[in-house]
Structure 1
Amino acid sequence: MSIASLADIQGGIGAGFDDGGWISTSYLIAEIVVIPLSGWLAQVFSIRLYLLTNAFLFLVFSAACALAQDLPQMIVLRAVQGFTGGVLIPMAFTLIITLLPKAKQPIGLALFAISATFAPAIGPTIGGYLTENFGWEYIFYVNVVPGAIMIGMLYVSLEPSPMKLSLLREGDWPGIVTMAIGLAALQTVLEEGNKDDWFGSPFIVRLAVIAAVGLTLFVAIELISKKPLLNLRLLGRRNFGFGVLANLLLGVALYGSVYILPVYLSRIQGYNSEQIGEVLAWTGFPQLLLIPLVPQLIKRIDPRIVIGVGFALFAGSNFMNIYMTNDYAADQLFWPNVIRAFGQALCFAPLSAVTTAGVEPENAGSASALFNMTRNLGGAIGIAALQTLLTKREQYHSNVLMQSVSMFEQATRTRLEQLTQYFMNHGVIDRVDAMHRAYVAVGRVVQKQAFILAFSDTFYTLGVALLVALLAGLFLRKPDRLDAGGAH
């Protein structure tokens, strides 16, 4: 579900602007909680049964979301949808690094990159088109056909294996409980913090304390447990640790840019969801051309160089947007979006390959969970940071600009007089009323310009985050051998 379609969904089920945010939040909370659980639950119920069941339930609850009548129904359905859909990403990654031969892993990781970087980029395009032409309900129905194909392919390709229900008794339940509580609280803080004025809200303060205590206990439990839910010691390995850090920052920029561009186009340029989708399509379609070539590219070139070039291009695409003006719209965003698409395509699959090279099969579940969870967590952190930055920088730029819009300035007095005369020439009889409208009009112009400058600041921040990711990538060691994706 794209942010461009959220307003239509809120209107369709009668949700207010503030409460409507829970439509996204409920899904994201469930998703980020289930990702670390997926590796263990797949062992308990068998990979085949676990994947098929969750894929089927994801389609059922996705279609059910389109039938929701009110906000409480939608929140519950979205939460269950997130809990089932969140399974698919880490399990796909785990299957790639455990079942595929090493020489074939780069092809698998390249295809995985389509779901990880192409899907968020193209989602607003599909969602916007469906929302404007058929109604918001169809953004949930669109999952049904590809989902049914996926279930069919999983059914014939995964071999049956017995369940190991005895593992439920041996489960790391203290770790599971503290992880679920900590991550759910943290995700809620990040999603709702800016709207609720962060630590000015007792609700956010309580949740922040719960998140800090829960996650601290989780880390302590995992480090002393004989059978931990996640092997956190993997983060101490040079490639895995720096790779996860780079991936977290990639999540900040990937989901942050998917958030900030639609907000800019809607608020400043007045675009509807379909128009926003058409602009964002150019962050997606070029990836389809390049991603299939990446496996051969990292076979011939040091994958760390490919990662560095990818992060540099992605960072550069954001720096291209730091001098935005009132006329900065689809045409001006074309080349930054294309460059961003190439950058994303180049950095993700090689980063996945180098980060997980050498990870033992018994640690594959932990590696997949940590790698994918940190990218999603990075996205939540990025969106929360950008929301706050946008608010604060708009206030800052408004204050600076208003200092120049003074009645002591002849240009200001002249402009106010022109606007007053304009309103009187267009039906406003009372001069005082016309002058009031002129002041309001000038205030709106100043606020719009302040927002444009603030949006420029958000793109600068995303660029800096990607440069830090590039720096983390420089600390990666080249694996002993990488057959276009897997280490031997």
Structure 2
Amino acid sequence: MASTTIDTPGGGGTHTPAFVPPAPSEKVSGRTWLAVAAGMLGAFMAVLDIQITNSSLKDILGTLSATQEEGSWIATAYLVAEIIVIPMTGLFVRVFGMRAYMMGTTALFLVFSTLCGFAWNLPSMIAFRMLQGFTGGALIPMAMTLVMAKLPPSKRATGMAIFGLTATLAPSMGPTLGGYLSELYGWPSIFYINWVPGLLLIGGIAVGLDKEKRNLSLLFTADWLGIFFMALGLGSLTIFLEEGNTKDWFDSAFIKTFAALAIIGLLGWVVTSATRKQPFVNLGLYGKRNFAAATALSMAMGMGLYGSAFILPLFLAQIPGYSPMQIGEVIMWAGLPQLFIMPFVAKLSSKIDNRILCTFGLLLFGGSCLMNAYMDATTGYDQLLLSQIVRALGQPFVMLTLSNFAMNGIQPKDMPSASSLINMTRNLGGSIGIALLATALTNREHFHSARIGESVTGFALATQERLDALTSSFIGKGFDSATAADMALKAVDNVVRREAYVMAYNDGFFLVAAVLFACIGVLWFSDKVKAPSAGGGGGAH
């Protein structure tokens, strides 16, 4: 039987979770696998719902009579609630037990998903999306906690491989599924579809996990001051990141207010966590070298995952003018090959130093972004296929090994905290990545427009020839000379803007690639880790 390092935590006090496994045996029952699979389904559903509204946003805004800027709150509300609830899952599991909490939060998630489909105006949609995020966000760290708590060390690589798939597949499949459902059945269907995985999840957890005693008294002794500061800090930081670009960052009093609230909240959280004997989540884990390196990687991976899933659909919609379904067909290739790669990576992770595997994955993922950094106005499905497949090959190597680094040497009582923090930082990384890229796209488009404009002037011979040819063409189509000259000028201006946007998108991919390559240096600060294999205690030290 594989040995597992379960230390008895000194001073762990009264809140050792009921679900800490009593040295799990090598043989895993079908019930346990059913519970783990149900947990994965939940994580996939919750991550998918971050992105699923993106491709249908235009239809949703049309129905709700809202502007594009107002519509950004549909995604922001979900993200804010999700990032607040993720660190709280450990506390809720101790209070309600894993089985009751997962079934309860999923049932509420399905109710709020249905209400999103029935939303009658923008405020109702934002309120229901926030409640949907608050109930769905818990499902992400719970999937990782299930793997660590219910599977023996030798089977965790397999469990983490499936968890890694939920984290990388869902951002790729979100826009695809959203676009497909919207086109066929209308936008409310993107919310109603959650009933299928949701009911399967509730059934799987009901059968796969034993009932646990509730411990409601923990709610009265919980670190509510710390929770308040955490909610204020993370919520304000997410709003600051999500809304910053549309409101011109620090030129806006709104953004300055949320930046200040984020600093107050996060500092307050750190201080209360350091002074409380039993904080609701153990921030001291950031003091572990492996966990700190895994957190930095997780944040960068969030930037890469959500960032690339943000830029490419924008490019395809704006430049070649793809429909949501066509965009989905391109992005799908960043997801599908992972299904076949992940089991292979899980096997390798118990034989090869995970730092080597992760480096390989980061090189492939970063390389795929570099391949996208040389697009032009004619780039489409055929030209993007190879880069999407390279991305799909690289992501599993990073996601699986990242989980191994994060959970290496974590005591059982800290597993819910570790799972919450690592997933929180990935989501935060996604918000930071999208904020950075949205700002970079705006700034670089202005920069490239100005630079191209220096060459394309009325005094340049090539520009004059092009304008004359276009004017003649429009006159040939029956327009008078003044209208034709005006149309020619507009056509040239459109080409300049289009090229400036293409260059800005290319710069965005360069930025993502640079972040991913920089992470290789951070990675080698961590210890050598191998996933435990079936033969023994594995090489995690």
Q: After TM superposition, is the score higher than 0.5?
A: yes
Q: Who is 2:283 aligned against?
A: 232
Worse-superposed segment, 449-458 or 130-139: 130-139
Shift of residue 126, structure 1, vs aligned partner: 1.4
**In 2, Cα distance between equivalents of 1:314 and 1:206:** 36
SS where residue 299 of structure 1 aligns? coil
Structure 1 unaligned segments of length 5 or more: list them: none
Offset from partner CA, 1:232-269 (integer Å, 9 cap, x none): 11111111111110111000000001111110100111
Structure 2 unaligned segments of length 5 or more: list them: 1-51
Q: What is the number of equivalent residue pairs in this alignment?
A: 487
**In 1, Cα distance between equivalents of 2:158 and 2:192:** 29
Letter in 1 for 2:523: G
Offset from partner CA, 1:363-388 (integer Å, 9 cap, x none): 11110111000000000000000000
1:437 maps to which of 487, 491, 507: 487
Worse-superposed segment, 293-302 or 316-325: 293-302
**In 1, Cα distance between equivalents of 2:62 and 2:325:** 17
Letter in 2 for 1:372: N
1:348 maps to which of 367, 386, 399: 399
CA contact (8 A) 1:246 1:473 kept: yes
**In 1, Cα distance between equivalents of 2:320 and 2:54:** 16
2:296 maps to which of 237, 245, 268: 245
Q: Who is 2:259 aligned against?
A: 208
Shift of residue 10, structure 1, vs aligned partner: 1.3
**In 1, Cα distance between equivalents of 2:96 and 2:370:** 47
**In 2, Cα distance between equivalents of 1:293 and 1:70:** 47
CA contact (8 A) 1:131 1:274 kept: no
2:420 corresponds to 1:339? no
- C-alpha RMSD of matched pairs (Å): 1.4
Q: Who is 1:447 aligned against?
A: 497
Cα pair distance change 1:196/1:109, threshold 3 Å: same
Q: Who is 1:121 aligned against?
A: 172
Shift of residue 162, structure 1, vs aligned partner: 1.1
CA contact (8 A) 1:44 1:163 kept: yes
Worse-superposed segment, 130-139 or 78-87: 130-139
TM-score, normalised with respect to structure 1: 0.97
TM-score, normalised with respect to structure 2: 0.88
1:8 maps to which of 59, 79, 88: 59
Q: Who is 2:47 aligned against?
A: none
**In 2, Cα distance between equivalents of 1:479 and 1:123:** 32
Q: Who is 1:80 aligned against?
A: 131
1:173 maps to which of 214, 218, 224: 224
1:45 maps to which of 96, 99, 110: 96
Shift of residue 112, structure 1, vs aligned partner: 0.7
**In 2, Cα distance between equivalents of 1:144 and 1:122:** 17
Cα pair distance change 1:151/1:487, threshold 3 Å: farther
Shift of residue 13, structure 1, vs aligned partner: 2.1
CA contact (8 A) 1:106 1:486 kept: no
2:67 corresponds to 1:67? no
CA contact (8 A) 2:240 2:258 kept: yes
The correspondence of residues 184-195 of structure 1 with structure 2, limited to 5 A, is 184-195=235-246
CA contact (8 A) 1:35 1:87 kept: yes
1:469 maps to which of 519, 528, 532: 519
2:129 corresponds to 1:91? no
**In 2, Cα distance between equivalents of 1:82 and 1:186:** 16
Shift of residue 201, structure 1, vs aligned partner: 0.7
Worse-superposed segment, 27-36 or 346-355: 346-355
The correspondence of residues 27-426 of structure 1 with structure 2, limited to 5 A, is 27-426=78-477
SS where residue 408 of structure 1 aligns? coil
**In 2, Cα distance between equivalents of 1:313 and 1:282:** 15
Q: Who is 2:32 aligned against?
A: none
Letter in 1 for 2:103: L
Letter in 2 for 1:434: A
Worse-superposed segment, 384-393 or 68-77: 68-77
CA contact (8 A) 2:353 2:529 kept: no
CA contact (8 A) 2:244 2:255 kept: yes
Cα pair distance change 1:480/1:279, threshold 3 Å: closer
Letter in 2 for 1:58: F
Cα pair distance change 1:426/1:293, threshold 3 Å: same
Shift of residue 2, structure 1, vs aligned partner: 4.1
**In 2, Cα distance between equivalents of 1:114 and 1:69:** 35
Offset from partner CA, 1:142-188 (integer Å, 9 cap, x none): 21112111110001111111111111121111110011011111101
**In 1, Cα distance between equivalents of 2:459 and 2:166:** 57
**In 2, Cα distance between equivalents of 1:113 and 1:481:** 14
CA contact (8 A) 2:80 2:235 kept: yes
CA contact (8 A) 1:105 1:486 kept: no
CA contact (8 A) 2:249 2:255 kept: yes
**In 2, Cα distance between equivalents of 1:174 and 1:150:** 33
**In 2, Cα distance between equivalents of 1:201 and 1:100:** 49
Letter in 2 for 1:394: E
Cα pair distance change 1:481/1:249, threshold 3 Å: closer
CA contact (8 A) 1:264 1:455 kept: yes
CA contact (8 A) 2:81 2:134 kept: yes
SS where residue 149 of structure 1 aligns? helix
Cα pair distance change 1:338/1:223, threshold 3 Å: same
**In 1, Cα distance between equivalents of 2:180 and 2:490:** 35
CA contact (8 A) 1:247 1:469 kept: no
CA contact (8 A) 1:102 1:486 kept: no
Cα pair distance change 1:33/1:440, threshold 3 Å: same
**In 2, Cα distance between equivalents of 1:345 and 1:102:** 20
Q: Who is 2:16 aligned against?
A: none
